[in-house]
Amino acid sequence: MMINNYLQIKKIMKIDFKKIFNRKKVEKKKPETTTVKIISWVKTIVWAIIVVMIINGLALASFVVPTGSMENTVMTGDFLFVNKFIYGPTTPQVVPFFNIPLPFYKFPAPKDPEKGDVIVFIFPGYRDEVESAEFQYYLKRCVATAGDTLQ
């Protein structure tokens, strides 16, 4: 009677009970050695640094306001995040940590500066003349664009 019930259940449910109850035990992973863990951490940190350098170089950067020339809008010492991509990102001046100079390249800009935009920039004449540690970033408001006349 018991065997018949088993066969009927098996036919109705189309289940192979042998596969369910006779599973092989899953093998446990061997614990990682200390050197494998250290190498894994080093790889993770190196990739994080590379990603941050790419983002900081091409898309987004943080700056501290150096002067009080825009004190009604931005105070001296304020921290700003700047969208570098909007006016065309440029290659970094040097390789970080090693101070190796890199060639200058400016990517195409999706947008031109408009009147009233607040812009962070390095005076263009300084790029090749001054050491990378001595760059002075300027924060100014755009008051004129191409073709405008100032009086």
Residue 130 has pLDDT above 60, yes or no: no
- Looking at residue 28, its pLDDT comes to 66
| Structure tokens that stand for 67 in this block | 């002067």
How far apart CA 22 and CA 9 sit, in angstroms, is 18
Cα 58 to Cα 21, 29, 67, 107, distances in angstroms: 57, 41, 24, 9
Mean pLDDT of the chain: 78
Half-sphere exposure of 84 (CA within 13 A, CB side): 18
CA distance 138 to 62: 13
Residue 21's pLDDT is what? 62
Q: What are the residues facing 140 on neighbouring strands?
A: 119
pLDDT in tens, 33-78: 899 899 999 999 999 988 887 787 778 888 888 788 888 888 888 8
pTM higher than 0.75, yes or no? Answer: no
16, two tokens: 């192979």
List the one residue out of 92, 80, 87 whose CA is nearest residue 55. 92
* Percentage, residues of the chain above pLDDT 90: 9
What digits encode the pLDDT tens for the residues 83-120? Answer: 888 888 887 777 777 778 888 788 888 888 899 888 88
